[in-house]
Structure 1
Amino acid sequence: MEMLVVDRLSGLDASFLYLETPAQLMHVCGMIVLDPATMPEPYTFARLQRTVEERVRDTPAFTRKLRRVPLGLDHPIWVRDRQFDIERHVHRLALPQPGGLAELTELAGHLAGQPLDRSRPLWEMWVIEGYDAGLGHDLVAVFMKMHHATVDGVSGANLVSHLCSLEPEADPLATAADQTYGRDPDQLELLGRALLSNATKPVQAARLLSPSAQLVTKTVGRARAGTAMAAPLTAPRTSFNGTITGHRTIALADMDLEQVREIKAATGTTVNDVVLTVAGGALRSYLEDRGELPDDSLLATVPVSVHGSTKRSSGANKVSALFAKLGTDEEDPLVRLEDMATRNRHAKEHHNAISADSLQDWAEFAAPRTFGLAVRTYASLRLAERHPVVHNLVISNVPGPPVPLYFCGAEVLGLYPLGPVFHGAGLNITVMSNHGHLHVGVIACRESVPHPDDLVQRFPAQLAELRAAVAARPLREEAETS
């Protein structure tokens, strides 16, 4: 039985629709590398497509579509797609020979640069056959795209669990048993709801002003005490901080999670501290070799999930963000890690002092027409190249499954999330753990970072350099005290 409520997008979910342009695409992607040898029955595309349909056809996040409010007076609503067709969402491709990683990432970059069809549920899956990873038999790669209006990092992982199990022949980790669809009201009701929502916005804004003003005062105090997180608009300019195009490049790499944990244990830091330190080293090395290394540290936006602390029950995106300096101005990896740990501790304390719902509350005031016009004007005037750099890139560290997963029966060998890129920050790095590995996914505007493989391959090297520095620390401390 369907719920008798209207499933309205939250302001934050809707803002990702308003921010989208042909160049600034607001979907998130994921590359899932599968070993078909573990499947209970021999792999065929038709069987995989049929299994996906069985697992998603009653799941609202996969089978709902957008419906606009008359005159764009309020955020859109979700309604069930009564004509849902799996063939419009799950497609088949084969890699050109030799079918290696270079061919896979080139194809993925092309697919990432294509917008999703807003007349259908906002996701698609490309099953790519013939991937030769040097294992003696071909693998299958699944390139998946979902609009950010539908998912954030946590909810995206939850949706993938509808397709994955702990054993090849087991049931999926999640089902749609407790999920329902929103009601599809008539035009008059939608218009009435929109008018009522707009009438109450001045009162809602007034309620937000006081806590926001208090937050500014507290932030100033933290800045004076040296315990505030890094501030936006203080980032140095690099070649990937300008106006972006719709072209995308993608690169993938792997690191050993146990090595990261060893460094964490030896230094009293966190996995996130180590990951950001390695990222800072990789970016430093990359920019230095290009003759572009700035004197000041790069500044990253780090998304933070607030699923555990939000008071809001609706909306797919329950996320906030903090700003982190990556220590690209520090050559010594051990000093970079120690500084990173201190800065991250202050940033977390600062972030925890901010309401978990602050970003979501203010996003409710995003106006469809105004937002869209502002983004198009910003891009056409190339304003990202005229004002101080807000941040250099987005970087995420996402905890993944600690045990093997099976996607429709095939073992998951790699799980690489890839986020959107923005005008002014044409580079996104996501690191995700998966059964003892850390998978690194880099996506960028092609004109800003034409060869991201040159960057991503530095991650394992930087991890090795940091491990060596940690191992040599007792000798260095002994030499300093003698």
Structure 2
Amino acid sequence: MQQLSAQDASFVYLETPHTPMHIGSVGIYDPSTAPGGFVRFKDILRFVGERLGGARSFRQRLVRVPFDLDHPYWIEDPEFDIEYHVRHIALPKPGDWRQLCIQVARLHSRPMDLTKPLWEFTIIEGLDNIDGLPPGCFALLSKVHHAAIDGMSGVEMSAAVHDLDASMTTPEKIDGWKAEDMPKVADLLARSYVNNLIQPMRIMETIGRSLPGMGRLASQVRSGDVSIRNARPAPKTPFNGKVSAHRVWDAVPFALTDIRAIKEAVDGATVNDVILAIVGGGLRQYLNGKDQLPKETLTAMAPISVRGEGEKAALGNLVSAMVVGLGTQVEDPLERLRFVHDEAVNSKAMTGAVGARTLADYSQLMPSALAGLAARLYTRVGAANAHAPVFNCVVTNVPGSRVPLFFAGARMVGMYGTGPIFDGMGLINTIYSYGPTIAISFTSDRDAMPDPAAYAEALRQSFEALKAAVTERAAAPPVETNDNRPAAKSGNAGSRRKSNG
């Protein structure tokens, strides 16, 4: 029996019928590589069943402490049934991309049963009319509760059900799993009493670790090395109110070589900076078309994994976060990329001064019962509509495989992500890389974004505008300076930014 951390438990407390707190992925597979050229559902059941020992999350379920007096526990589920967790449906004809997006959104919107292991696989057949895919492909929609995994540990869970070839070789590792008995109420209450006694010591320890970092941050702000401009509230958008129970989903893939070429246009820029700039351009175009674009920059929360090398397979979440301006007030695509790069550098410096691991540890300070009550009250009274958002959306990057992967012998031909939204934050952009492709997938509230295809198109046009700007700049002759030397082609100092204002 293992207790959830406060950060993991917070995702349980945030769970409501309108805000299911699971993450997941949409993998698309070509069954022609499987033995016999096709995959039967019973083959998939057997394949997954043989690999359950590869991740602890598969057969662990939650046990709540009475009245939420302490954080829940994981136990090995004595009633585990694989056929509950692996399901099978098919799209009606013609089986196109729009139908898949609607089905993914519908399945993703449904809360999970918190009394069972917190994962579900749904096989979606009938993908017969999607550009770039051979007929007969199927999708695997995975749902895993955020209390059990973050993006990085989710990669470990995905690795358990994927092979590097189509042979479907049975794992050699012996599965030594054993079920546990349900704990007695008296035992849970006794544990909660002890844990609550030592909570003040944990608080003092966390505060003590953070004081040197706070001092470093104050020193860097005084010297001008770090700006606290992102500490202010974000502007209000349609995505930052109370969310409904309905979701939309779509995804836009890009060639990773194009993204890497774009980042070279700005000194020090990263692939993440380019993705953030594309999202900023997409949001600018989408909101501008509805006359809802704020004059100030929109901001994104970007999770940061704080896992150590020995914690990659650990259950639960080990994440901190930084907030980055998306440059939605900047018209020129290259200037927007420079703006985003500057914002990212500044935000990383702020997080680094205090320590990302220390910031993550602050989630341990709120008592469990108070955390659950606060989450329920926040949703019930619609508090998200009454205050300025802390950030406007989430952009989270999940690194994927650079080599082909196989599920039940079928070759993966595409991988996309899904994520949770909640009151005050109704848009999450999940970045998933696989092979030569990197994709921006997004999950949003259907009331806030009734036309997801329009946002997907805005992301495509944002990418194309940025790519064209880089190409045009590379083709332009160098500008001569007063001393007849070519001027530098990139740099952040003194850059001028076009804005709406």
For 2:466, give the aligned amino acid.
L
Tell me the residue number matched to 1:330: 330
For residue 26 of structure 2, the aligned residue among 28, 31, 35 is 31
Tell me the residue number matched to 1:374: 374
Instruction: Work out the CA distance in 1 between the residues paired with 2:316 and 2:173.
Output: 17
Q: What's the CA shift for 1:317?
A: 0.4
Instruction: Work out the CA distance in 2 between the residues paired with 1:265 and 1:174.
Output: 45
Residues 175/163 of structure 1: CA separation in 2 closer, same or farther (3 Å cut): farther
TM-score between the two structures when normalised by the length of structure 2:
0.88
For residue 72 of structure 2, the aligned residue among 72, 76, 80 is 76
Q: Secondary structure at the match of 1:33?
A: strand
Q: Secondary structure at the match of 1:231?
A: helix
For 2:341, give the aligned amino acid.
A
Q: Secondary structure at the match of 1:141?
A: strand
Tell me the residue number matched to 2:422: 422
Is 1:16 paired with 2:11? yes
Tell me the residue number matched to 2:81: 85
Query: Aligned residues, how many?
Result: 477
Kept after mapping to 1: 8 A contact 2:324/2:344: yes
Tell me the residue number matched to 2:257: 258
Q: What's the CA shift for 1:171?
A: 4.4
Instruction: Work out the CA distance in 1 between the residues paired with 2:480 and 2:339.
Output: 19
Q: What's the CA shift for 1:7?
A: 1.1
- After superposition, the C-alpha distances for 1:418-467 in whole angstroms (9 at most, x for unaligned) are 11112111000011110000122110011111122211223232222212
- Superposed counterparts of 1:28-177, under 5 Å: 28-41=23-36, 42-56=38-52, 59-132=55-128, 133-134=130-131, 135-169=133-167, 171=169
Residues 233/245 of structure 1: CA separation in 2 closer, same or farther (3 Å cut): farther
Instruction: Work out the CA distance in 1 between the residues paired with 2:97 and 2:313.
Output: 41
TM-score between the two structures when normalised by the length of structure 1:
0.92
- After superposition, the C-alpha distances for 1:142-172 in whole angstroms (9 at most, x for unaligned) are 1110000000000001101011111111548
Tell me the residue number matched to 1:440: 440
Kept after mapping to 2: 8 A contact 1:416/1:441: yes
Q: What's the CA shift for 1:217?
A: 4.6
Q: Secondary structure at the match of 1:372?
A: helix
- After superposition, the C-alpha distances for 1:236-264 in whole angstroms (9 at most, x for unaligned) are 11111111112111011111111011122
Is 1:247 paired with 2:242? no
- After superposition, the C-alpha distances for 1:369-421 in whole angstroms (9 at most, x for unaligned) are 32222222222322212112211000112221111111221111111111111
Residues 287/304 of structure 1: CA separation in 2 closer, same or farther (3 Å cut): same
Instruction: Work out the CA distance in 2 between the residues paired with 1:387 and 1:213.
Output: 29
Instruction: Work out the CA distance in 2 between the residues paired with 1:172 and 1:480.
Output: 65
Which 10-residue stretch deviates more, 246-255 or 200-209?
200-209
Is 1:285 paired with 2:280? no
Is 1:267 paired with 2:262? no
Q: What's the CA shift for 1:265?
A: 3.2
Which 10-residue stretch deviates more, 362-371 or 461-470?
362-371
Residues 112/293 of structure 1: CA separation in 2 closer, same or farther (3 Å cut): same
Q: Secondary structure at the match of 2:264?
A: helix
Residues 410/477 of structure 1: CA separation in 2 closer, same or farther (3 Å cut): same
Residues 445/230 of structure 1: CA separation in 2 closer, same or farther (3 Å cut): farther
Residues 234/31 of structure 1: CA separation in 2 closer, same or farther (3 Å cut): same
Instruction: Work out the CA distance in 1 between the residues paired with 2:135 and 2:311.
Output: 49
Tell me the residue number matched to 2:492: none
Kept after mapping to 2: 8 A contact 1:250/1:443: yes
Is 1:473 paired with 2:468? no
Which 10-residue stretch deviates more, 78-87 or 213-222?
213-222
Residues 286/204 of structure 1: CA separation in 2 closer, same or farther (3 Å cut): same
Kept after mapping to 2: 8 A contact 1:164/1:172: no
Q: Secondary structure at the match of 1:455?
A: helix
Tell me the residue number matched to 2:491: none
Tell me the residue number matched to 1:358: 358
Instruction: Work out the CA distance in 2 between the residues paired with 1:174 and 1:419.
Output: 33
For residue 199 of structure 2, the aligned residue among 194, 198, 201 is 201
Q: What's the CA shift for 1:315?
A: 4.8
Gaps of 5+ in 2: 483-501
Q: Secondary structure at the match of 1:395?
A: strand
Kept after mapping to 2: 8 A contact 1:67/1:77: yes
For 2:62, give the aligned amino acid.
L
Kept after mapping to 1: 8 A contact 2:217/2:354: no
Tell me the residue number matched to 2:386: 386
Kept after mapping to 1: 8 A contact 2:398/2:431: yes
Kept after mapping to 2: 8 A contact 1:242/1:384: yes
Residues 369/282 of structure 1: CA separation in 2 closer, same or farther (3 Å cut): same
Q: What's the CA shift for 1:174?
A: 11
- After superposition, the C-alpha distances for 1:8-42 in whole angstroms (9 at most, x for unaligned) are 11111111101111112111021111111111242
Is 1:412 paired with 2:408? no
- After superposition, the C-alpha distances for 1:80-118 in whole angstroms (9 at most, x for unaligned) are 112211111111111122211111111111111111011
Q: Secondary structure at the match of 2:356?
A: coil
Instruction: Work out the CA distance in 1 between the residues paired with 2:307 and 2:333.
Output: 33
| Identity value in percent | 35
Kept after mapping to 2: 8 A contact 1:303/1:322: yes
Q: Secondary structure at the match of 1:96?
A: coil
Which 10-residue stretch deviates more, 120-129 or 134-143?
134-143
Kept after mapping to 2: 8 A contact 1:162/1:172: no
Q: What's the CA shift for 1:136?
A: 4.3
